[in-house]
Structure 1
Amino acid sequence: MWLRFTSHLYVRIWLAVVATVVVLAFLVGAAWQLSTDPPQLPIREVLVHNSAGEIIGKAQTKPDRKLGEGLEFDVLTRDGQTLHLELPRPKRPPSNSWTRPPFGFGWMLGVVALAVALGTYPIVRRLTQRLEGLQRGVERWGDGDLSARVTVNGSDEVAFLAERFNHAAERIETLMDTQKSLLVSHKSLLANASHELRSPLARIRMGLELMGDGSGSAQRAEISRSINELDQLIDEILLASRLDARQADAEPFETLDLTGLAAEECARVQAELGTAAQTHSLTVQGSARLLRRLIRNLLENARRYGTGEISLELSQSGMGTQERVVIRVNDRGPGVPPNQRERIFEPFYRLPGASEREGGVGLGLALVKSITERHGGTVRCEDRPGGGASFVVELPVLAAA
């Protein structure tokens, strides 16, 4: 409880001020006590009378009498006798100047400490409240709320710091808004241009079909291949734009048999399909069109860069709510360097040295990552034992009813 109480800045400042004043007052009082001479006691006189009321002797106290001692008198009478009189002090509880009310030094120290505590607390609390407001504003801004601002009060260092924070936050928010606008405009322009390219591509394909088979069959095949690549590129650009714009969220998710979907795509590229022993079908909740594109892009990537067999393996991992379907596509290509295994999922990124004859523009794996994340899964690239690469996709499993 004490640690929690003293964790606040204003409490620590307040306690430091009070402790400083108390220590200072204590030192001043101690020095005052040590430097003060003991008080000079008054000289007391005693008179001795006989039964007739005549004074038969008198005496005075000693001049070097100390504080706290009783009164002693040596009375010399008229007849030459010496009488020794002693008046002891009454028994009182021990006390000293530090605790004697109402003006003892200890009482004065307590009053000073209380006065300082009551006087400094509002000042310290007001200062630290402004610092706490600045802290809350910075935390909101750090959590992603770029519109967070702090109130500027006064003209001291705290106010200057708050003003500079507001200025920096406003500039960053403006830059982020500008960047988002440019990115949206760029993607919109790219999607519109890709869409407009469909019409001329369709006319070129139709003209190529009307030419028929002739002596230029090699050139015709090359033109046809280029048209197909452009058509695939346009499809990928449009799909990437829809995924970025969250338009793909409108597609209904349904329970899918992933085994059947994978079998169809493997048959299209003559890839080997392997599944672990299962007592029920591998099902996921998702979009059939997007998951088909995910598997197709992985197989096409393996076929494009691989030199041997291509295989697709389906399995399950985890238990209960953590159960997941694992899609693993293996090839025997050159593999992917460890420092490139994150970058290959960036749009339009290709490995250094990739040949133009291999095709592709670097959107296939970026779409795989976007589709995987849309379905709440993860994707990664690993080394394949014996050479090559393995692309692993993990998707949540829909429990069988």
Structure 2
Amino acid sequence: MTDHRPDPDALLERVLSEAAREHRGALKIFFGYAAGVGKTFSMLQAAHRAAAAGREVVVGYIEPHGRPETQALLEGLEALPTRPVPYRGVTLQEFDLDAALARRPGLILVDELAHSNAEGSRHAKRWQDVEELLGAGVDVWTTLNVQHIDSLNDVIGRITGVAVRETVPDRVFDRADDLELVDVSPEELVERLNAGKIYIPDQARRALGSFFQKSNLVALREFSLRQAARRVHTDVESARRQRSVAEPWATSDRLLVCVGPSPTTTRVIRTARRMAAALDAPWVAVSVERAGATDSPAVKDRIAEHFRLAERLGAEVVTLPGEGVASALLDYARTRNVTKILIGKTDQPRWRRLVFGTIVDELLDRSGDVDVYVIRGEGDPPRPAGPPRPAEAIDRVVYLKAGAILAAGGLVAAAFDRFGLREVNVVMALLAAVAIVAARHGRGPAIVASVVAVLGFDFLVVPPRYSLAVTDAQYVITFLVMLAIALLISTLTARLKVQVENGKAREFRLSALYELGRQLSSLSGAVFLSAAAGRKIAELTGGEVVIYLGDPGEPTEIAYGRMTGVALHPVSEPAARWVIEHDRIAGAGTDTLPNAAALFVPLTGSQRTVGAIAVRTEPAARMLEPEQRRSLESCAGQLALALERDRMSIAASEAMIQARAEQVRNALLSSVSHDLRTPLAAIAGASGSLLRGDADDEPTRRQLLETIADEASRLTRLLENILQMSRLELGAAAANKQWNILEEIVGSALGRVRRELRDHQVEVRMPPDLPLVLVDGLLLEQLFLNLLENAARYTPPGSTITITAARDGAWLTISVADDGPGLPPGSEERIFEKFYRASSSSDVGRGSGLGLAICRAVASVHGGTITASNRPAGGVEFLLRLPFPADPPKVELE
């Protein structure tokens, strides 16, 4: 029997998707292939139907284009006022995002999804405004033409000959909850254009001669129909998975696109995006960092720009180290189960391909089962003539130093030749100089040194000497071999130097991340964690760092870098709040808040976003490089987890404190309830007997009165213990130390518990010459009172209680011992805890569990200690040690 149970992973994915969509607004796109097909008209008609059905509909922004039919449909719908923006002497009317968020309607209409906002707006693109509305839970209807989809932009541009600058990322189009295709035939669209229903007559004539040619319209219509069909197919597959009609569909295809500095890479990336979308396959953009290669800043900037395009189109980006591009790509492809590799091919001369080979040829030869797609593109653009830029200018000092090293090698070689050493030794001296130049100054000076070394050998050694002429043709082979060896040595040495430098850079980043993790794991407190992370990130990036903390929907605070230029910039605080709210990177170099002073990265923890990091470097684009960005995101992730851990630790501590407080309250009630009920019951019974006249004779009445007095005294001592414990724990009870006679304190305590000790024998052994003690008499009396009462309660009648005192150097040692049953093993320390009672017998006669805790607190206030231990002969001994002053005052005894 076939198991048709749904896949748990698919169910979990569906649950998570529904949970994420629950608080997000729904996006509906009215989709067409050109202006004038009726997208805005259809959207307004649907809006009127929705309003008639009782739905709250608000017009956020509609571009009427001077069309009276569209303008007429706006009547009867609530419209938000536009936001005037002055721009180059004119006033533009833009969509007011803040007004829409404040109004927060059920459904809002926002025309022209691909529109670019005016400078000074919060977002550079209108689709970003729509994203924020959706995140706020507002449903949005909008319009879009097929040529504005990012991955189709270059293909449509080649077909129509018109480059469209305003694009929308494919992920925005793919995440739309509903897509309505608005379609008319090209012939009908041309008729509308001729009738003046789309543009004014002059614009219509120009459009018919360029963009609105029938061939262009047919191609655009096919693109729109294909996109709509792909979307319908995706919806069908999603519905099948939700209903668990069949097994979850998963493709085995995975695409890899090779990213390089060539302009062709842009076309390759967009082609890979379209192929991945058609196959519904994941794809990854890979750049190979060759060992020994020293890429210029311009090359690095172009690669970083291509990576940003790939990320925007939904690719995973990876930078690989490797000796060769083809081998690194194939190794990675086989590791990640890649089935298709896409690479660009630029025009090159035939002789260059034959002599040096190409990466494309090597991939085709070694690809095996992996399919390789070669995308033809343009060659590199010609470099403008003129003087080199400062970054590319030749460093003359480096070449002078290389010349000095080579000159020193030439002197050594000349000395070898003068002393009659063989020519091979002279060659070795020159090759050593070339290797030193390569190791110290890189590949360029090393190549020049290789050529100069060969010429120097010819000039100094080969006859005729001191001339570049050669009489023996055999030396030509020597020159060629020497030049080849010198170039090989210089290339390998320079490559090794670059590898060492790259390794040092990676080691520095890894060490910084490790050190940051180690510091964060040993610290607590948001301020200390932020300070440690801020210093380490500033060291890693070499720029200004500001750390903002705050939860989504709450004000932010600066935890690090308060007085930096980034923190003082007026846009920084709103940018940080936006990044925290939306959990996305924004700021300088990005499409969101590009006017910000820094790049803002969210601190995303395992549960929510807890803050943002702002980093400003020179140049600002350096932080958008893949390596720097990954390092910054890794640091942000570690800090976010550390902050989350700290919050959870604080929450756990607060919960523990509350639990302990509840435990103490329950223990206090359960422990004190019996001790309160017993004296109160005795007092109530004795007083009731007196009131009823049950005691006829004087001795009985006196006995009842003594019972009332004793139980009242017992109740008073219990309440005093509770209050005294509270004062000691809060630190409100400071020791009022004065000189006292220890015998008087002990005697006063014995007098207060005489009733409890009436069935026990008490022995007091103190030396007659014991000096005065510097203590708080009332607190020490309370200590003895609790110890004696505890001994009377837990020892049988007839047992003996012994109190001894002696001076032990700088300490006064006082012992209170009994010969009772003793303590249970292992409870010698626990008996000093609040509400702990060692006896396991019935509750009759047991105390509240506060007396010994008060004893330890009193001893601590005096700077002393108290311990308990079982005596070898039976019973318990409480040993109190108090500091003893060196020169106590002496009192004459009577």
TM-score (norm 2): 0.29
- Cα pair 2:739 2:772 within 8 Å, conserved: no
Q: Out of 247, 250, 261, which is 2:745 matched to?
A: 261
**1:110–1:243 Cα change, 3 Å:** farther
Aligned residue in 2 for 1:136? 519
Separation (CA, whole Å) in 1 of partners of 2:771 and 2:852 = 27
More moved, 163-172 vs 110-119: 110-119
Separation (CA, whole Å) in 1 of partners of 2:527 and 2:764 = 52
* Structure 2 residue matching 1:175: 3-state secondary structure: helix
Return the offset for 1:179. 4.5
* Structure 2 residue matching 1:149: 3-state secondary structure: helix
Provide, for residues 331-353 of structure 1, a one-character-per-residue CA deviation record: whole Å limited to 9, x for no partner: 01100022121221122222243
Separation (CA, whole Å) in 1 of partners of 2:780 and 2:526 = 35
Q: Which amino acid aligns with 2:778?
A: R
In the alignment, does 2:763 pair up with 1:272? yes
More moved, 293-302 vs 125-134: 125-134
Determine what percentage of the aligned residue pairs are the same residue. 25
Q: Out of 715, 718, 727, which is 1:230 matched to?
A: 715
Provide, for residues 214-259 of structure 1, a one-character-per-residue CA deviation record: whole Å limited to 9, x for no partner: 167687776665544333222211111111222213x533344445
* Structure 1 residue matching 2:804: 3-state secondary structure: strand
Provide, for residues 163-199 of structure 1, a one-character-per-residue CA deviation record: whole Å limited to 9, x for no partner: 22321210221232355467679979979xx9xx9xx
**1:315–1:352 Cα change, 3 Å:** same
In the alignment, does 2:876 pair up with 1:364? no
Separation (CA, whole Å) in 1 of partners of 2:419 and 2:725 = 104
Q: Which amino acid aligns with 2:843?
A: E
Q: Which amino acid aligns with 2:644?
A: H
Aligned residue in 2 for 1:170? 647
- Cα pair 2:819 2:874 within 8 Å, conserved: yes
Separation (CA, whole Å) in 1 of partners of 2:526 and 2:742 = 42
Aligned residue in 1 for 2:801? 310
- Cα pair 2:516 2:635 within 8 Å, conserved: no
Aligned residue in 2 for 1:103? 434
Gaps of at least 5 residues in structure 2 are 1-322, 324-417, 440-489, 534-602, 604-612, 614-630, 755-760, 889-894
Separation (CA, whole Å) in 1 of partners of 2:805 and 2:495 = 79
**1:187–1:355 Cα change, 3 Å:** closer
Separation (CA, whole Å) in 1 of partners of 2:730 and 2:632 = 45
Aligned residue in 1 for 2:771? 281
Return the offset for 1:156. 5.1
**1:275–1:228 Cα change, 3 Å:** closer
- Cα pair 2:740 2:777 within 8 Å, conserved: yes
Aligned residue in 1 for 2:877? 390
* Structure 2 residue matching 1:103: 3-state secondary structure: helix
Q: Out of 83, 86, 90, which is 2:420 matched to?
A: 90
**1:139–1:302 Cα change, 3 Å:** same
**1:244–1:309 Cα change, 3 Å:** same
**1:304–1:210 Cα change, 3 Å:** same
* Structure 2 residue matching 1:314: 3-state secondary structure: strand
Provide, for residues 135-188 of structure 1, a one-character-per-residue CA deviation record: whole Å limited to 9, x for no partner: 3343333xxx68753446656555434322321210221232355467679979
Aligned residue in 2 for 1:240? 725
- Cα pair 1:147 1:169 within 8 Å, conserved: no
* Structure 2 residue matching 1:327: 3-state secondary structure: strand
In the alignment, does 2:722 pair up with 1:214? no
Gaps of at least 5 residues in structure 1 are 1-23, 25-87
* Structure 2 residue matching 1:136: 3-state secondary structure: helix
Separation (CA, whole Å) in 1 of partners of 2:504 and 2:773 = 65
Aligned residue in 2 for 1:149? 529
In the alignment, does 2:786 pair up with 1:297? yes
* Structure 1 residue matching 2:866: 3-state secondary structure: strand
TM-score (norm 1): 0.59
- Cα pair 1:313 1:327 within 8 Å, conserved: yes
Separation (CA, whole Å) in 2 of partners of 1:147 and 1:229 = 51
Separation (CA, whole Å) in 2 of partners of 1:127 and 1:356 = 64
How many pairs does the alignment contain? Answer: 300
Separation (CA, whole Å) in 2 of partners of 1:239 and 1:353 = 26
Q: Which amino acid aligns with 1:235?
A: E
**1:244–1:325 Cα change, 3 Å:** same
- Cα pair 1:382 1:390 within 8 Å, conserved: yes
Q: Out of 297, 315, 325, which is 2:812 matched to?
A: 325
CA RMSD of aligned residues (A): 4.4
Q: Which amino acid aligns with 2:801?
A: I
Return the offset for 1:390. 0.3
Separation (CA, whole Å) in 2 of partners of 1:361 and 1:326 = 27
Q: Which amino acid aligns with 1:138?
A: S
Provide, for residues 15-66 of structure 1, a one-character-per-residue CA deviation record: whole Å limited to 9, x for no partner: xxxxxxxxx9xxxxxxxxxxxxxxxxxxxxxxxxxxxxxxxxxxxxxxxxxx
- Cα pair 1:331 1:390 within 8 Å, conserved: yes
Greater Rg by CA: 1
Q: Which amino acid aligns with 1:171?
A: M
Separation (CA, whole Å) in 1 of partners of 2:849 and 2:779 = 18
Mapping for residues 335-374 of structure 1, pairs under 5 Å: 335-374=822-861
**1:210–1:128 Cα change, 3 Å:** farther
- Cα pair 2:764 2:803 within 8 Å, conserved: yes
Separation (CA, whole Å) in 2 of partners of 1:96 and 1:375 = 89
* Structure 2 residue matching 1:348: 3-state secondary structure: coil
Separation (CA, whole Å) in 1 of partners of 2:845 and 2:819 = 15
Q: Which amino acid aligns with 1:272?
A: E
**1:115–1:326 Cα change, 3 Å:** farther
- Cα pair 1:97 1:104 within 8 Å, conserved: no
- Cα pair 1:147 1:170 within 8 Å, conserved: no
- Cα pair 1:332 1:389 within 8 Å, conserved: yes
